[in-house]
A and B are shown apart, each in its own frame.
Chain A
Amino acid sequence: MATEQLIWLLPLPPLVSFFLIVLLANRNKALSHTIGIGAAFLSWLAGMVVFFRAVTGEHGLHGLGEHPLHSAMDWLPLGDGAFQIGVNIDPLSALTLFFVCWTVLMIFIYSVGYHNFGQPEGEHDQKGLPPHGATVTDEHGHQHTVLSVEPNYSRFFAFISLFAFGMFVLVVSDNLLTLFVGWEIMGLCSYLLIGFWFAKPSARAAAIKAFMTTRIGDVFMLLGLAYLYSAAGSLSYSVIFSPEVLDRLVHDAAVGGFLGLSAAGLIGLLLFIGTVGKSAQFPLHVWLPDAMEGPTPVSAMIHAATMVSAGVYMVIRIFPILAAGAEHGLTPAMTVMAFIGAFTALFAATIAVAQNDIKRVLAYSTISQLGFMIAALGIGAYVAAAFHLLTHAFFKALLFLGSGSVIHGMEHGVLHTGNHDVDPQDMMNMGGLRKKMPVTFWTFLIGGFALSGFPFITAGFWSKDEILADAWAHGHTAVFWTLAIAALLTAFYTMRQIMLTFFGEPRTKEAEHAHETPWTMTAPLVILSVFAVAAGWAGIPEDFPILGGLVANFIHGVSATLPAAMIEKAPAFNVIPLIASLVVALGGLFLGWLVYRKYKAGATDPVKKMLGGLHTVLQNKYYLDELYQATFVRLFNWISEVFTPAMDRGVIDGFLHGIARVAFSLGGIFRDRFETPVITGAADLLGNGVKGFGREFRGIQSGRIQQYMNVVLVIVVVLAVFIYILAQV
């Protein structure tokens, strides 16, 4: 099959799977997950075929950049031409496709085990609540509570299939419109999946929060898209990134001379705000930690591997617009991005240090790492940003899935002891799990080291180092130091997390009774950990001492996606950023080990002791949620609950009632002054007149023939006289 056709077909299996599950397979759990995984597998297969064909074409990635795999069709007839939509695989989308296919498939397989397929149904399980155990009697008559299967199992696979469809559409699209379509589909599925356990009020609130917050970003993005379309006449990449259009966008001033920006600047800024929402950057980051209410595969997929990556992907995609105009410096849009990215990276890392929920740490970690990517793009490090996107997807998905495995193990312990007050997600209740859950431990360790940037072996090191190297080489020292400190904190809190969860002795009975999770959950962990290590080796800089050049720097070919004028050479090797990377990574890991190696149950968190009051601020996320609640949320609640109904009832209804009253009174006047006397009077007069006339005249018809004949006689005589007289005349 031609590659272009394959690219068109790529997003379809998950969509078909969604419909099949919803319409046909909803009651059959095994059929649902078979359809879902089958669809993910088909898309994975197609994605791998497309990827290999794309990168092994002539000239490798560079050739792909100049001649992307492209196919378009007319979609919306507009006057003479038509709005075209199509598919496009260039180096950036090929790379993204690679990691999306793998992570999606791994998460689908993981979900089977996570939702306890094969386990009995719980007696008290309700659809909309997380399953909490089924009682089984073994052959000795002992009753155990075991994990029960998720009641809404099929629904989950339907939703993640739809989500996968959205992501694939976004990745393969060749124009910003279908990208936005995929973006919105994922927003919807994110809402549905965060609120998967819809009977929990916290989950419902989190789903709404996620949707609303990303919506704010989406509105601005839509404005940006509209502006771009009106300025450039098209949304296809081949048109909007062409030198002529870019030139025009740069030289046109923004609408209304907005802040002295060029059109390109304003468009870039508006589209970037979409990413701020979707990729949870400050100030719209507040939804991501709450989104941990959803099942862990959802957190992994949406909030690590795909949806938040989509925000970064989009902004990488529109880099030509962002960078247009400034030859070697930074455009205003890029400066904004660098600032927000770096700030978010540090900001989120500080909060992560003080979190106790295993998933919250990872959520803030995600926000922080996304900040890294945005900052990288903000300083113009195109390749570094794309590289970090790739590696982050793998290791963050791995970490989330690992945390899900840990939580499962802890839940098993909770069911065993029957003590439901113990939160299976609280790291303070864990400890010593490396002995109980070895596979989970080793894969989590690999993921954690990748996140921290453990030197040379892990993928995270290479991508983070590239960002720091780029920042140093182009002289963006503020960004450099901010990201370096954030990386230090990243390594620290990651080691803290690993120490608290896996090392030491089990701090609760529940942790003692944890055990390893089934192969459907551990196999994906192993596979992802391979990538978490190996993905980095594809991007070793060429002039790296000793190691450079051993493996061809594949990732650097991503820059071929850019228009030729913007492609920069990789920065020359500088030892300072390398030393900084090593110091922060190893230093942070060492510090984390140092502080937490002696942590016992019930003791205060050492960080809390060190920071004191600051720790409370960090733990409460700088009270930002409370601030938003007190200001925006209350304001909008007031508008919708008080102001709008009052307006509606008072003003609008009042206006309508007023009109009605006027109409009524006018009608009354007309009726009494005009209609009744004149018209009705005339009609009545006519009617009564005729009636009276008739009543008088009917006396003629007496029924007596003699009377009739009398009349005839009289008339005949009169007529005769008349005619006679006329005849005489």
Chain B
Amino acid sequence: MTPVQIIFLVVSLMLLVSAFMVVTVRNLVRAALWLISTLFMTAVVFVLLDAGFLAVVQVVVYIGAIAILFIFAVMLTRRVMADTGPQTNANGWWVGLSSLALFAGITWILLGWGGSSADAPIFPAGLDTVTDLGMGLVDPNGFILPFEVASVLLLAALIGAIVVAWDRDN
């Protein structure tokens, strides 16, 4: 067991436990906090995959914005459901079974695929992923179109969210 493997195993264990907690905990604020934990662990996994920039973006965007948004949403919708009663609906067991089946299926296919046991290729030296990413996003022969589209999407989402949540009675 190389040290990297041990780190990976610890991180993945924490990730999975956090994720489990997100989907089972009754108190929604706690669920949100467990979500933050999950997201953080995901950032660590990105680091392990030599995608540092993405790890930072993960922390900033997901944890810094989205998770906070979740907490706000939970706070704003708390009145009726006073954190009591079971949070899992009637289908809980069957869904659990199905997801388990799904997981089992995917895992089985993966293990049957030869390429899954490949090792990571050597990270080319001098490869500046950040610069490459930046250049790629504005290169006309590159990914400027998806970039622009994503920005339009964000604009639409921005306007849409405002419009949808606008309190018309005021």
Contact between A and B in the complex (any CB pair below 8 Å): yes
Min C-beta distance of A718 to chain B, whole Å: 10
Residues of B within 8 A of A720 (CB): 105
Min C-beta distance of B108 to chain A, whole Å: 9
| Interface of chain B, main secondary structure | helix
Chain A stretch 167-219: residues in CB contact (< 8 A) with chain B: none
B91 touches A717 (CB 8 A): no
Closest residue to B91 on the A side, CB-wise?
A710
Separation of A724 and B91 alpha carbons in the complex (Å): 27
Interface size class of A (residues with CB under 8 A): under 10
A706 touches B98 (CB 8 A): no
Chain B stretch 62-98: residues in CB contact (< 8 A) with chain A: 89, 91, 94-95, 98
A710 touches B98 (CB 8 A): yes
Residues of A within 8 A of B94 (CB): 710
Min C-beta distance of A726 to chain B, whole Å: 14
Q: Which 8 A-B pairs have the closest CB atoms?
A: A713-B98, A717-B101, A717-B102, A710-B91, A714-B98, A710-B95, A720-B105, A717-B98
Separation of A465 and B164 alpha carbons in the complex (Å): 129
Separation of A717 and B98 alpha carbons in the complex (Å): 8
Separation of A707 and B90 alpha carbons in the complex (Å): 10
Closest residue to A704 on the B side, CB-wise?
B89
Residues of A within 8 A of B105 (CB): 717, 720-721
Residues of A within 8 A of B89 (CB): 706
Min C-beta distance of A721 to chain B, whole Å: 7
Separation of A720 and B99 alpha carbons in the complex (Å): 14
Chain B stretch 144-158: residues in CB contact (< 8 A) with chain A: none
Separation of A712 and B94 alpha carbons in the complex (Å): 13
Closest residue to A724 on the B side, CB-wise?
B109
Q: Mark A685-718, 1 if CB is under 8 A from B, else 0.
A: 0000000000000000000001100100110010
Chain B stretch 91-129: residues in CB contact (< 8 A) with chain A: 91, 94-95, 98-99, 101-102, 105, 109
B91 touches A706 (CB 8 A): yes
Separation of A713 and B106 alpha carbons in the complex (Å): 13
**Total A-B contacts with CB atoms under 8 angstroms apart:** 19
Separation of A717 and B89 alpha carbons in the complex (Å): 21
Some 6 contacts from A to B, beta carbons below 8 A apart, are: A706-B89, A710-B94, A713-B98, A713-B102, A717-B105, A724-B109
Separation of A713 and B91 alpha carbons in the complex (Å): 13
Separation of A713 and B99 alpha carbons in the complex (Å): 8
Residues of A within 8 A of B98 (CB): 710, 713-714, 717
Separation of A710 and B89 alpha carbons in the complex (Å): 12
Residues of B within 8 A of A710 (CB): 91, 94-95, 98
Separation of A720 and B109 alpha carbons in the complex (Å): 11
Min C-beta distance of B105 to chain A, whole Å: 6
B91 touches A707 (CB 8 A): yes
Residues of A within 8 A of B99 (CB): 713
Closest residue to A721 on the B side, CB-wise?
B105
Residues of B within 8 A of A717 (CB): 98, 101-102, 105
Separation of A721 and B108 alpha carbons in the complex (Å): 11
Closest residue to B98 on the A side, CB-wise?
A713
Residues of B within 8 A of A706 (CB): 89, 91
Separation of A706 and B95 alpha carbons in the complex (Å): 10
Separation of A22 and B101 alpha carbons in the complex (Å): 107
